[in-house]
Chains A and B, each alone.
Chain A
Amino acid sequence: MIRLVAGAALLVMLLRPEWMAPLLSPLTRNGAPAIYAQSSLLDLALSHLALVAAATLASTLVAVALAVLVTRRAGAEFRPLARTVTQVGQTLPPVAVLALAVPMLGFGTWPTLLALFLYGMLPIFENAVTALSGLPPPVAEAARAMGYTPRQRLLRIELPLALPVILAGVRLSAVIALSTAAIGSTVAARTLGEVIIAGLVSNNPAFVVQGGLLVGLIAILLSDALTVLERRLRA
């Protein structure tokens, strides 16, 4: 039900933003426009989502690969190092990453992608390590005794069993990335943050609310969809 309402609200705000004008106009002052019209909200939302998807995919690949490495016997000694790296990634404020990355990568998508990628690794890494080291001992022993090679054990037993927990980490990371991506617009990445920044710059709360609501609704729906997927995998 909430899902339906949120979905409908999102569609309206993206496809028919002018319908929101009566709700948002009380927030404007001095006859400023209530609806952001510099660029298409749908385009901004899609580009926002693409950025989040790319960053989360990269975080997932790197974090899961690291987690697999440090849960092997040969890689166990790298565990503290990998943990430190991912923690630093989370501790560095994305704004600082943006500021540091712009001189190297220029304005636009790339510094934002880097900031989101670093910021999103920790939850995926921690969940993957927990899930991969939490295999019930009889199951691990049975797989070994049955004649699975280490690679077959990883691909057929360990990763499939860890998948729901890894996915929970991906969900967390994707939702964080979704809200954090908005700041990418400070370095000219095309995201919904553009609307919020435009509102702040022109002192127009209607834009801020509009951008904030859009990001919030997408975050709720995304988290919900991934939760459903997670549950299906657990069943």
Chain B
Amino acid sequence: MIEIRNLSRRFGTVMAVDDVSLTIAKGEMVALVGTSGSGKTTLLRMLNRLVEPSSGTVLLNGQDTAALPAHLLRRRIGYAIQGHGLFPHYTVARNIAAVPELLGWPAAQIRERVDELLTLFGMPPADFRNRRPAALSGGQQQRVGVARALAARPEVLLMDEPFGALDPVTRAQAQADLRRIQRQLGTTTVLVTHDMEEALALGDRIAVMDRGRLVQCASPAAILTRPATEFVARLTGQSDRPFRLLGLVPVADLAEPGAASGTPVDPALSAREALAECLWSGREALPLTGGGRVTLHRLAERARGAE
């Protein structure tokens, strides 16, 4: 668990982060969003003291992070960044092993952990263990970067625009993988992104920063339906709001008994995809695989923010 209390950081005369307080529960994924210069990256970097706070405290599981030497604190916190930052002279295995090595794990245990992580990220260890980062695709480098951040089973994972350099298809896959792995491991995660779609897809809660201040921290649905300020509303994109709202729920949640004509759709699809299917095929209702149906009327209702 992370408790941020009245945290501020001043650069010269500018308050990059201004009196931010936020509590992040164990296992939660919080997406920090905001425009460039809103202070989201500075806030993130204060959590592992890459930037030292001007005032305020950060508690990690109740312990003041300022009380530890910075390098020991950082070994307990995973960190993944845009452009991955893999060490070019190390193999994939040694890159992933970086923090366990610093912590002095026995070699056999490190090897086992590396293979486990490579498998978890869908990269067969025998193929990838001994490659250099330069011999990987962008998506693979990114996965190794996240695997390295998770290697020593950190209590907290910090990510700064981790998928910013990926193409849209690879990025969607990387996001889905991250969501799956984060759920599976239960690692408390803070993710900085300027991509609202990414924040909505990944965050349990979304924290919106504006000129150094935290203006709202709430669930994706609440951010979309009840933006706290004009800035939040603009950031969430009013024209996309109904679709984004539908993107948050699986179509199964909107199902009702009954029948409809045409090809059935997978109930695990998002309501947004179901709406697209309705519009594209000109149907008023779609049958779901495994029974039941969803109507265009119900989708439209949900898109207006009705529960």
Contacts and interface: CB of A to CB of B under 8 A. Distances in A.
Given A139-B85, A139-B87, A145-B79, 16 more contacts: A138-B82, A139-B88, A142-B84, A142-B85, A143-B87, A144-B50, A145-B50, A145-B74, A145-B77, A146-B148, A147-B74, A147-B99, A148-B71, A160-B89, A161-B87, A161-B89
16 contacts: A136-B85, A138-B81, A141-B81, A142-B79, A142-B84, A142-B85, A145-B48, A145-B50, A145-B77, A146-B102, A146-B148, A147-B71, A147-B73, A148-B71, A161-B88, A161-B89
A160 B88 CA distance: 10
Contact of A138 (B73, B75, B84): B84
A152 interface: yes
Contacts, number: 54
Interface of B: 48, 50, 71-75, 77, 79, 81-89, 98-99, 102, 145, 148, 158
Contact of B99 (A141, A144, A146, A161): A146
A81 B75 CA distance: 37
Contacts of A148: 71, 102
A101 to B, nearest CB: 40
Interface residues of A, number: 16
A152 B85 CA distance: 16
Determine which residue in A139, A143, A147 has the highest number of CB atoms from chain B within 10 A of its CB, and name it: A147
B188 to A, nearest CB: 17
A41 B183 CA distance: 74
A152 B87 contact: no
Interface of A: 136, 138-139, 141-149, 152, 157, 160-161
A202 to B, nearest CB: 54
Contacts of A143: 85, 87
A192 to B, nearest CB: 38
A191 B96 CA distance: 51
Contacts of B73: 147
Contacts of B50: 141, 144-145
B79 A146 contact: yes
A141 B88 contact: no
A157 B102 contact: no
Contacts of B102: 146-148, 152
List 10 tightest A-B contacts by C-beta distance, closest first: A142-B85, A138-B85, A147-B75, A147-B74, A145-B79, A138-B83, A147-B71, A149-B71, A139-B85, A160-B89
B26 to A, nearest CB: 21
B15 to A, nearest CB: 23
A146 to B, nearest CB: 5
A150 to B, nearest CB: 9
Contacts of A161: 87-89
A146 B81 contact: no
Contact of B74 (A139, A146, A160): A146
B74 A142 contact: no
Contacts of B77: 145
Contacts of B98: 146
A116 to B, nearest CB: 31
B67 to A, nearest CB: 16
B86 A144 contact: no
Nearest to A235: B132
B61 to A, nearest CB: 17
A138 B80 CA distance: 10
Nearest to B74: A147
